[in-house]
Structure 1
Amino acid sequence: MLYQLNQLRDLSSLFTRKEVKRWLKDDFKSIDIKLERYNLHKKNKGSNYLKFLKETYKILEENYPNEYILKNEFLNKWLKSELGNQNSLIINEFRTGKAIADLAMFNGVSKAFEIKTILDKEYRLSNQISEYKKIFNELYIIIPKIQINKYINYDDCIGIITYDSEVKNFELIKKAVKNEEIDSNTLIEILHTKEYLEIVYKYYGHLPEMSVFTQYEVCKNLLSKIPNQELNSLFLQIIKKRKVNNLFFNKVNNEFNQICLSLNLKDSEKNELIKKLKTNIN
C-alpha cells in the first residue's frame, strides 16, 4: 500500500510526549481523528488503540523512518547490547551548552549520540559537535547508510553508526576517538546545584564558606582547578545518581520505549499506559 508523505508525517505525530500524556488521561481523540481522516475507522473498529499504534509504527518504520523511529530502534536493537551495560545510564535529550544531544549514555565514559535522518540538514551539526566535545568523552552520529559518504570525513574524532532501513539494522562504521578534555564552565551549567556542590565536596573534602548567592561562582572557580581526569570521573559518578528509568530494555511493546524514556516513566506507569491503550476502538 502506498502512503502519502503528508499522511505519514501526520501519523508520526502520534509518537510524541504530548500524545502519551493524553493517553494516560484516557484521551484518544487525536487517534480517533486520524482514523476518520484516513478512512481507517471501519477497518479498526472492534480492535484497540494499542494494536493500531503498533501497526502504525510498523508503517512508519517501513516508509517514514523519522527521528523517533530511528531513536527508538537504536535503543531497542543497538545501545544496550553494543555499547552499554547494566550500570549504564541513558538520558534522552541531554542539554549541553547551546545544543541538545538526542541520547547520552554514561557508564565508564560519557557518550553523546546525534541522529541525522534522511530528512535532516547538516548545517547545525558543526555547532552541535563543538558543544558536545566540551563534556562528552565520545561522540557518535547515527546516519542513514545511504548517506555514509556525506558524513564519513566530517570530523576525524566522531564515531559513525549507520542505519539500513531495508534490513533494519545498525552498524558501527567508525569508532569515536576518546576525548580526555572536559570544560568545567560547561559542566557546571548542566549540573544541578546539589550535584556541583557534591563534586566540590568529594574532591576538596569540604565546602568553603559561601552563600546561596555566591555558591555558583565559588564552585565554578573550584571546579576549574580540578584535573581533567578526576573531574571527568567525578562527573560520571554524580550524573549516574540521577533517577532515570531506563525502560528501553523491554521487548514487549517496545514501540513505546523511547517515549517512556523521554517521559521518565516508571515500570508501573508504562504498564498503566499499555492497559489504557487496550481500550477498544468504537
Structure 2
Amino acid sequence: MNSKRTYNSDQLRDYSSLFSRNSVKEWMSGDLSSIDYKIDRYDKNWYSKNKNRYIDYLKFVYGILDIHYQNEYIIKNSFLNDWLIKEVGESNSELYSEFRVGTAIADLVMFNGTSKAFEIKTELDTDKRLNSQLEEYRKVFNQIYLIVPSSKIKQYETYDTNVGIICYDNKTPERFSRFRPAANNKIIDSKALMNVLHTNEYKEIVAHYYGELPTLTSFNQFEVCSELISHIPKDELNQFFINQMKKRAGTYKLSSRYFVEFNQISLALKMNDKNRKKLFSVLKAPLNV
C-alpha cells in the first residue's frame, strides 16, 4: 500500500525528524505534539481509518521511510537489526553510535576482539569528506568499513583497499552484503588515542602497564600520560583501548524482535531496559489528534 502513494522530499524529510533524539526526548517527557502535527498535516485520512496508538503511527511512518527515503537513520537502524545485533548477541561486543575521533564522527563503532568503525554513505550523501574521515579512523581502529548503496560500489571501491565495503540494497532479501573485507590494522596512533580517551581511562592504562601512576597534577596529567602511553607496544595499547571502550559503553537495550524501528535511537540515547519500557508505555497511548 505504501509504495502506491507518492511522497515529495520535503514530506519525507519531515517524517524523518520523528526519529531524532529531540523528538524522543519530548515523548519521554509526555509531549507527543510532534506526532500529532505530522498526522494533522499529512495523514488525516490514515487517522480516520486507524484510530490506534502513537506507536502504530510511528511504525507506519517508518515503513514509508524504509521504502522511499533511505536516510542515515534508516540505514543505521537496518544495519543494526540485520547485522550487528546478531554479532553482539554472539560475542562480548559493545556498540556506539556517533563516536568522535579527531575531527570525524564514525556512524557506528563496535568493540569486541577488535575495534571496528562503520561509515555510512547513503544515496543522499557525497564523498566530499570521506578521505579526511578515513584518515582519522585509521589512527585508532583495527578495521574500517564503508556501508554504501550497491548502486555506488564503483564510486567507493577506488578508496583505500584496506577499507572494507558493505553494500546495501533494500530491494533484495539480504539487504546487506559484504563486498570486500577490511584489512586488520593494530598500529594505534597514541596521540590520536589520547584525544579519544577520558582522563580516568588513560590514567588506568598507564597504571596498569607501568604498575603505578607517577605524580600528576591537573595541569600536567595529559602530557605526562601521553608520553608514557606513547612507549607502550602498539599491540598492547590496542588491547587496552578496546578494553576501556568496552567498559565505557554502559548499559543500553536493543531488541531483535520488539520495536526494532527504535533500536538506533535507543543506542544513540543509551537507553536501558527501564527507559525503553517507559518510552513504549508512552507511545502505546491511544491517538488523540
Task: Please confirm whether the aligned pair reaches a TM-score higher than 0.5, indicating the same fold.
Answer: yes
User: After superposition, where does 1:178-189 map in structure 2 within 5 Å?
Assistant: 178-189=184-195
Contact 2:97 2:108 in 1 (8 A): yes
Equivalent of 2:159 in 138, 154, 157: 154
Contact 1:114 1:140 in 2 (8 A): yes
Q: Deviations over 1:230-274 (max 9, x none)?
A: 110111111111143342344210100000000001101101100
Equivalent of 2:247 in 221, 241, 265: 241
User: After superposition, where does 1:195-214 map in structure 2 within 5 Å?
Assistant: 195-214=201-220
Aligned mates of 2:259, 2:178 — CA distance in 1? 26
Contact 2:87 2:93 in 1 (8 A): no
Q: Deviations over 1:55-105 (max 9, x none)?
A: 110110011010000000000001133587331000111100110000010
Letter in 2 for 1:210: L
Letter in 1 for 2:61: T
User: After superposition, where does 1:86-165 map in structure 2 within 5 Å?
Assistant: 86-165=91-170
Give secondary structure in 2 for the equivalent of 1:156. Answer: coil
Give secondary structure in 1 for the equivalent of 2:116. Answer: strand
Tell me which residue corresponds to 1:37: 41
Give secondary structure in 2 for the equivalent of 1:190. Answer: coil
Aligned mates of 1:25, 1:45 — CA distance in 2? 25
Distance 1:45-1:173 versus aligned 2 partners, 3 A rule = closer
Query: How far 1:23 sits from its partner (Å)?
Result: 0.4
Query: How far 1:153 sits from its partner (Å)?
Result: 1.9
Q: Which runs of 5+ in 1 are unaligned?
A: none
Give secondary structure in 1 for the equivalent of 2:48. Answer: helix
Q: Deviations over 1:184-220 (max 9, x none)?
A: 1111111111100000011001111111211111001
Identity rate, percent: 47
Query: How far 1:39 sits from its partner (Å)?
Result: 4.0
Query: How far 1:27 sits from its partner (Å)?
Result: 0.4
- Does residue 18 (structure 1) correspond to residue 22 (structure 2)? The answer is yes
Letter in 2 for 1:117: T
Aligned mates of 2:82, 2:171 — CA distance in 1? 15
Give secondary structure in 1 for the equivalent of 2:195. Answer: helix
Equivalent of 1:254 in 253, 260, 263: 260
Tell me which residue corresponds to 1:265: 271
Tell me which residue corresponds to 1:55: 60
Q: Deviations over 1:9-61 (max 9, x none)?
A: 11011000000000001101111111111142643662111000011101100
TM-score by length of 1: 0.96
Contact 2:27 2:282 in 1 (8 A): yes
Contact 1:45 1:281 in 2 (8 A): no
Aligned mates of 1:21, 1:251 — CA distance in 2? 23
Query: How far 1:165 sits from its partner (Å)?
Result: 1.6
Distance 1:145-1:84 versus aligned 2 partners, 3 A rule = farther
Letter in 2 for 1:277: L
Give secondary structure in 1 for the equivalent of 2:29. Answer: coil
Give secondary structure in 2 for the equivalent of 1:208. Answer: coil
Q: Deviations over 1:148-202 (max 9, x none)?
A: 1111121111000011121251000100011121011111111111100000011
CA RMSD across the alignment: 1.4
Aligned mates of 2:19, 2:49 — CA distance in 1? 19
Distance 1:172-1:228 versus aligned 2 partners, 3 A rule = same
Equivalent pairs, count:
282
TM-score by length of 2: 0.94
Tell me which residue corresponds to 1:76: 81
Letter in 2 for 1:144: P
Aligned mates of 2:77, 2:134 — CA distance in 1? 22
